[in-house]
C-alpha cells in the first residue's frame, strides 16, 4: 500500500481522531486502564479537547483510546471521511420499512430525503432498521408485536451513537410503537409518516382501503355483488404506495403524531406519492439537527396538554378507536397521567368536522387538498391548548395560525356546520365493563346507540366464523352479538375482529348493522355499532366471560353505560364456576407478552415498560 493511502498522523493534542498520548493512563503492558474502557467507576470518557455534551462524540467517535479507534475505524468501512467524526449531531433514521409491510414499502426512498436534509443542516445521518408490523400480513395480529417494536426502537437508540432520531413509520402499529420506544429514551425525536395511498377507484367511484373490504364482503353475503366484481375491486383499491387512505388507524395515528406535536405541521395527510411528501421529509431532516442543538425532547412536547389536543383532534376528524389504546400507552411511557375518563371528557362536545370514510364520504387525498389537519386544528383552536410546544419549536397555535380549510369543499366542515357534535370515541362503563369499553359514535347507527337485546355468545372468533353462514342460526336484528377471549391476553394480542360480519341470513334481509360487543379491537377502517376494548377482558375473568346466550344487555351511549341485566347473585355463581382458559402459548415473545401485558384501559403496554428509562450510555463493549 502506498503512503498516500494511509491516513495522516494527527497531532494528538489537536485531533479527536488521534491515538491516546497519555502514557500515564495505560497499564504496564500498554493496554488502556479500566477508566479508558468500561469505566466501572463512572469516570467520563477520554476525548480530545474535552466533551461536547453529545453522546455520539463523548462516548463513541470522540474518544482517543482503543474504543474510539474501534468505533471510527469500522464506520470508515462505509466510506465516511474524517468530518463526520468531528462532533456534529448523529441522527439515527429509525426505519420500519419492509416489503412485508406494504404500507411502508416506500420508506427507504423517504429515508434518502431525510438524509439529504440532515446533511444540509450539518448532521451525520445513519439509517437503521427496526421490526416492521404489517397490519394486513402479520398473524395473529400486529398489535401483539407493538410493544416488541417499541423495545427494538428503545434499545437501538440507547445502545448506539445517536443524538436525535427521525422515526419513519406508516402502517398502524409502527407509528405508536416507534413513538413509545423513542419516548422511553427521550432523545430529540421527530416523526415522519409515509403518507396515505391515492384514492382507490372502482367502476368510476372512489373506494376506501379497508372500508370497501367490509362493505363489499357484506354485499357479497347479501347477494348484491358477484364474486367476479369482488375480485376485480382488489387492484383498484390499492393503487399506489402508502398506508390506508381512509381515516383508519394509520391515518389517525399520523394525525395524532401531528396533533401531539411530534410531526411537522401539515405533513400527516400528504399522499405517499406526492412530491411534497419527500420535500417535507427533507425539511424534517434539517429540523431534527436543530432540535438536537436545542435539546428539544419528547418529554418537552408530550405533556398532558398535548394529549388533550390529540384527543380533541381525534374527535374532530372521526378517528380510530385504536388511538385510545395507543395514546394511553404513549402517555404511560412519558409519565403523563391519562385515563379513559379524561379522554371521554375531552372528546365531549367537540364538533365532528371531517367527512371521511369509514364514517363519511371522502378519503385522505381529498382531506389533504382541503387543508389537512392544520385546517381542522385551526377550526377547533378555541378548544385546544394552543400554547403546547411542538417539534417546530413553536406552539400548536402558532403552527396553525395561518392555515385555512378550502372553503369550496365539504371535506372539512366549518365549526358552525359540523357533521355532528360529541361524535368522537365514547367511553362506556357498567357491570359488563367495570374498567371501561369504547364505541366510535361517528361510525355507529344512531338508532342503535340506545339498545336492549338478547346476547348471542361466542367464545372465539373461529366459533363465530363457523356459525355466521348458518341459515338456522338463532339470531335477529335486535340480537347483541358477544365475542369473548379476543383481548390482549386471551387471543393473544387483541386482534381487529370486533366488527363481526353480519350473519348471512340477516344480511340477505337487508340488515347492515347490529350491536356487537367484545374485548377485541376493530380496524380503524371499519364501521358499525361495535363496542370494543371491554375491560377486564374475558380471559382474566372479567364480567364479559360470564355472559351467556339469552342474557339481556343494555347499551346506552348517551348515558355512557353498558349493563348486563343479570343479578349479582347469579353472576357470583357463574364466577365461581368459571375456569380460566389455557394459556395461548408457552414460549417466546408471546409468553412474555401474555405474562406482562396490561389491560386495554391502561394501553396494553407491558407492565415493566411503563415509564422512561432515559438515554444513559451503557458500559463499553470491548
What is the residue-wise DSSP string for 296-332? Answer: --HHHH--HHHHHHHHHHHHHHT--THHHHHHHHHHH
Domain with CATH 3.50.30.80 in the chain: 425-601
pLDDT at 26: 38
What distance in Å separates the CA atoms of residue 69 and residue 85, rounded to the nearest whole number?
A: 11
CA 96 to chain centre: 12
146 within 8 A of 493, measured Cβ to Cβ: no
Assess contact for 279 and 113: CB atoms under 8 A.
yes
pLDDT class of 393 with cuts at 50, 70, 90:
very high
What distance in Å separates the CA atoms of residue 143 and residue 532, rounded to the nearest whole number? 15
Number of neighbours of residue 201 by Cβ within 10 angstroms:
14
The predicted model gives 165-190 an average pLDDT of: 98
Integer angstrom CA distances of residue 463 from 38, 456, 505: 57, 12, 17
- Please list, in sequence order, all residues whose beta carbon lies within 8 angstroms of the beta carbon of residue 135, skipping any fewer than 6 positions away: 101, 103, 142, 171, 172, 173, 249, 250, 496
Mean local confidence (pLDDT), 319-337: 98
46-66 confidence digits (pLDDT tens)? 444 455 689 999 999 999 999
* Least confident span in 137-146, 160-169, 215-224: 215-224
pTM over 0.85: yes
Instruction: Look up residue 614 and give its three cell numbers.
Output: 432515559
* Lowest mean pLDDT, pick from 218-222, 269-273, 291-295, 397-401: 218-222
Q: Of residues 557 and 49, which shows the higher confidence score?
A: 557
Top-confidence residue, 5 or 82: 82
Number of Cβ atoms within 10 Å of the Cβ of 75 = 17
What integer pLDDT is reported at residue 2 of this predicted model? Answer: 40
Mean pLDDT throughout 274-292?
A: 98
CB atoms within 10 A of CB 206: 18
Please, are residues 49 and 18 in contact by the beta-carbon 8 Å criterion? no
pLDDT at 11: 40
* pLDDT value at 156 more than 60: yes
- At 402, is the pLDDT very low, low, confident or very high (cuts 50, 70, 90)? confident
Q: What is the mean pLDDT of residues 145-165?
A: 98
Highest-confidence range of 1-15, 17-31, 266-280, by mean pLDDT? 266-280
Across the chain, what does the average pLDDT equal? Answer: 92
pLDDT at 437 over 60: yes
Superfamily holding 425-601 = IlvD/EDD C-terminal domain-like (3.50.30.80)
Is the model's pLDDT at 30 over the cut of 80? no
Q: What does the pLDDT read at residue 51?
A: 59
* Dihedral of alpha carbons 110, 400, 250, 363, sign: negative
What pLDDT does residue 33 have?
A: 37
* Whole-number Å distance between alpha carbons of 174 and 249: 11
Is the pLDDT score of 208 beyond 70? yes
Q: How far is C-alpha 210 from the chain's CA centre?
A: 17
Q: How far apart are CA 172 and CA 134, in angstroms?
A: 8
Predicted pLDDT of residue 407 = 78
Across the range 77-87, mean pLDDT stands at 95
**Are residues 325 and 425 in contact, defined by beta-carbon separation less than 8 angstroms?**
no
How many CA atoms lie within 13 Å of 67's alpha carbon, on the beta-carbon side? 24
| pLDDT range class, residue 17, cuts 50, 70, 90 | very low
DSSP state, 599? P
Give the mean pLDDT of 489-506.
Answer: 96
Q: Give the relative orientation of helices 340-347 and 322-334 as an angle to the nearest 10 degrees.
A: 120
CA end-to-end span of the chain, whole Å?
A: 29
**pLDDT at residue 584 in the model:** 85
pLDDT at residue 409 in the model = 83
Q: Give 542's pLDDT tier (boundaries 50, 70, 90).
A: very high
Which among 234, 256, 235, 239 is positioned nearest to 247, based on CA atoms? 256
Which secondary-structure segment (H or E) carries 217?
A: helix 211-221
Is residue 536 reached through a cis peptide bond, with omega within 30 degrees of 0 on the bond before it?
yes
| Helical H segments across 52-172, by residue range | 55-56, 66-76, 107-120, 146-159
What does each C-alpha distance from 443 to 63, 246, 557 come to in angstroms?
A: 57, 13, 13
Q: What is the pLDDT of residue 21?
A: 36
> Cα–Cα distances in Å, from 197 out to 111, 230, 326, 503, 524?
18, 20, 23, 31, 15
At 404, the pLDDT band (50, 70, 90 cuts) reads: confident
Amino acid at each position: 500500500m502506498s503512503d498516500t493511502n494511509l491516513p495522516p498522523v494527527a497531532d494528538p493534542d489537536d485531533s479527536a481522531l488521534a491515538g491516546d498520548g497519555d502514557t500515564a493512563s495505560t497499564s504496564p503492558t500498554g493496554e488502556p486502564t479500566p477508566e479508558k474502557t468500561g469505566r466501572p467507576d463512572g469516570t467520563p470518557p477520554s476525548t480530545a479537547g474535552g466533551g461536547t455534551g453529545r453522546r455520539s462524540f463523548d462516548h463513541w467517535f470522540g474518544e482517543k483510546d482503543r474504543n474510539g479507534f474501534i468505533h471510527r475505524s469500522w464506520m470508515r468501512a462505509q466510506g465516511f471521511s474524517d468530518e463526520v467524526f468531528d462532533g456534529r449531531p448523529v441522527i439515527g433514521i429509525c426505519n420500519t420499512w419492509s416489503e412485508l409491510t406494504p404500507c411502508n414499502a416506500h420508506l427507504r426512498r423517504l429515508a434518502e430525503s431525510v438524509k439529504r436534509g440532515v446533511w444540509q443542516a450539518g448532521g451525520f445521518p445513519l439509517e437503521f432498521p427496526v421490526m416492521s408490523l404489517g397490519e394486513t400480513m402479520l398473524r395473529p395480529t400486529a398489535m401483539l408485536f407493538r410493544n416488541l417494536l417499541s423495545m427494538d426502537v428503545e434499545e437501538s437508540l440507547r445502545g448506539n451513537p445517536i443524538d436525535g432520531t427521525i422515526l419513519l413509520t406508516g402502517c398502524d402499529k409502527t407509528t405508536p410503537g416507534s413513538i413509545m420506544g423513542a419516548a422511553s429514551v427521550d432523545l430529540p425525536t421527530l416523526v415522519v409518516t409515509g403518507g396515505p395511498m391515492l384514492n382507490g377507484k372502482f367502476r368510476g367511484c372512489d373506494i376506501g382501503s379497508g372500508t370497501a373490504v367490509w362493505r363489499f364482503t357484506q354485499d357479497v353475503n347479501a347477494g348484491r355483488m358477484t364474486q367476479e366484481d369482488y375480485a376485480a375491486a382488489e387492484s383498484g383499491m390499492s393503487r399506489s404506495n402508502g398506508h390506508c387512505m381512509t381515516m383508519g388507524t394509520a391515518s389517525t395515528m399520523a394525525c395524532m403524531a401531528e396533533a401531539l406535536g411530534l410531526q411537522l405541521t401539515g405533513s400527516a395527510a400528504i399522499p405517499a406519492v406526492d412530491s411534497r411528501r419527500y420535500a417535507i421529509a427533507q425539511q424534517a431532516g434539517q429540523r431534527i439537527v436543530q432540535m438536537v442543538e436545542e435539546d428539544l425532547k419528547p418529554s418537552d412536547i408530550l405533556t398532558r396538554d398535548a394529549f388533550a389536543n390529540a384527543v380533541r383532534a381525534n374527535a374532530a376528524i372521526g378517528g380510530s378507536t385504536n388511538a385510545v389504546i395507543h395514546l394511553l400507552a404513549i402517555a404511560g411511557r412519558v409519565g403523563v397521567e391519562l385515563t379513559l375518563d379524561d379522554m371521554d371528557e375531552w372528546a365531549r362536545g367537540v364538533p365532528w368536522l371531517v367527512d371521511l370514510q369509514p364514517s363519511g364520504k371522502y378519503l385522505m387525498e381529498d382531506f389533504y387538498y382541503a387543508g389537512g389537519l392544520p385546517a381542522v386544528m385551526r377550526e377547533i383552536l378555541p378548544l385546544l391548548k394552543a400554547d403546547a410546544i411542538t417539534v417546530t419549536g413553536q406552539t400548536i397555535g402558532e403552527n396553525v395560525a395561518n392555515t385555512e380549510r378550502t372553503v369550496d369543499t365539504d371535506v372539512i366542515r366549518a365549526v358552525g356546520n359540523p357533521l355532528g357534535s360529541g361524535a368522537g370515541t365514547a367511553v362506556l362503563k357498567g357491570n359488563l365493563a367495570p374498567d371501561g369499553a369504547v364505541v366510535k359514535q361517528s361510525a355507529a347507527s344512531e338508532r342503535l346507540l340506545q339498545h336492549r337485546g338478547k346476547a348471542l355468545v361466542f367464545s372465539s372468533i373461529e366459533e363465530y366464523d363457523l356459525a355466521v353462514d348458518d341459515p338456522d342460526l338463532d339470531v335477529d336484528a335486535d340480537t347483541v352479538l358477544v365475542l369473548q377471549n379476543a383481548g390482549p391476553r386471551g387471543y393473544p394480542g387483541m386482534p381487529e375482529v370486533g366488527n363481526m360480519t353480519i350473519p348471512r341470513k340477516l344480511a340477505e334481509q337487508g340488515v347492515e348493522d347490529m350491536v356487537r360487543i367484545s374485548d377485541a379491537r376493530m380496524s380503524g377502517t371499519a364501521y358499525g355499532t361495535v363496542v370494543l376494548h371491554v375491560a377486564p377482558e374475558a380471559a382474566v375473568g372479567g364480567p364479559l366471560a360470564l355472559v351467556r346466550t339469552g342474557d339481556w344487555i343494555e347499551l346506552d351511549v348517551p348515558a355512557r353505560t353498558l349493563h348486563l341485566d343479570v343479578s349479582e347473585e347469579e353472576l357470583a355463581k357463574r364466577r365461581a364456576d368459571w375456569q380460566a382458559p389455557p394459556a395461548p402459548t408457552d414460549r417466546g415473545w408471546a409468553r412474555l407478552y401474555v405474562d406482562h401485558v396490561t389491560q386495554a384501559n391502561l394501553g396494553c403496554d407491558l407492565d415493566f415498560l411503563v415509564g422512561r428509562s432515559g438515554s444513559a450510555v451503557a458500559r463499553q463493549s470491548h
